Amino acid sequence: MPERNPLLNPVLEWYARCARELPWREPDATPWAILVSEIMLQQTPVARVLPVWTEWMRRWPTPAALAAEPPGEAVRHWGRLGYPRRALNLHACARAVTDLHGGEVPSDHATLLSLPGVGEYTAAAVASFAFRGRHAVLDTNVRRVLARAVRGEEYPPKATTAAERALAESLLPGPEDAPVWAVAVMELGALVCTARAARCADCPISGLCAWRLAGKPPYEGPARRGQGYAGTDRQCRGRLLAVLRGAHGPVPKAALDAVWDDAVQRERALDGLVADGLAEVLDDGTYRLPL
């Protein structure tokens, strides 16, 4: 391994001892299973993803199985994971994989990037975890670990920068270790080097961490505000979508009106669901999931 990454061995040794057992990390996990997990895990905790992912894999074990269903079924079985456009993206991705790639998730990074709903992070993660590629995988947890351990900063910038990508690429080990390094740093950020309460006493690289060695200087960037939920358009959309998901056919407008009191916000949220392709309004004024 390159000497320029002294973090590698302690992080890999920690991961071998402490990694969570997750089904998408099992040796027999398919590229499709890994792709679905990566989309679901975006901005969503593992505990919420596990039961939904398990149901999806039982119901749709292959891209072709999901592609054969209407997109509304993907939305219906998205449950309460939030950000339900991801369900539509996964459905479109399944159809693209089925129609353009013979039902097999492509292995190369550039082709993965061409799939609906697959961005830089997801393409790198799938190429690394499903096909053992050598890519810099930069999610929020990885960015935070590298910001602290290498740059001496409590938090990374709000948006991923070219400097962060260059740093991550400079730390990549050889092809054999690169996929494990990617998931190990991610796990370290999720379990130990967390955003709110870094557990430095349990960290395998605390003796090398630039932020800790500098006395943990506080973050000096723009104020970091947590995302509220109660009373927001997101909550309203979720309530409306729950009604549509629970119905076995078109839903009268009155049933949607009943779940949210603020009429202006409710209409705005409903219009947004239709505009985003998450709901359809029929000629008789009823609503349903997309077909």
Residues labelled as active-site residues: 38
Note whether 129 and 178 are within 8 A (CB): no
The amino acid occupying position 269 is A
Note whether 113 and 105 are within 8 A (CB): no
Of 66, 69, 68, 72, whose CA–CA distance to 289 is shortest? 72
The amino acid occupying position 85 is R
- The secondary structure of residue 288, as a DSSP letter, is E
Calculate the alpha carbon distances from 229 to 41, 51, 236, 274 in Å. Answer: 19, 22, 9, 21
Which residue do the tokens 């000096």 mark? 220
The amino acid occupying position 240 is L
Q: Count CB neighbours of 23 within 10 A.
A: 13
In 101-139, where does DSSP find H-type helix?
109-113, 120-129
Note whether 37 and 45 are within 8 A (CB): no
Question: At residue 130, what are phi and psi to the nearest 5 degrees?
Answer: -90, -30
How crowded is the C-beta side of 148, counted as CA atoms within 13 Å? 30
Q: Which pair of structure tokens corresponds to residue 228? A: 């509220």
Note whether 100 and 92 are within 8 A (CB): no
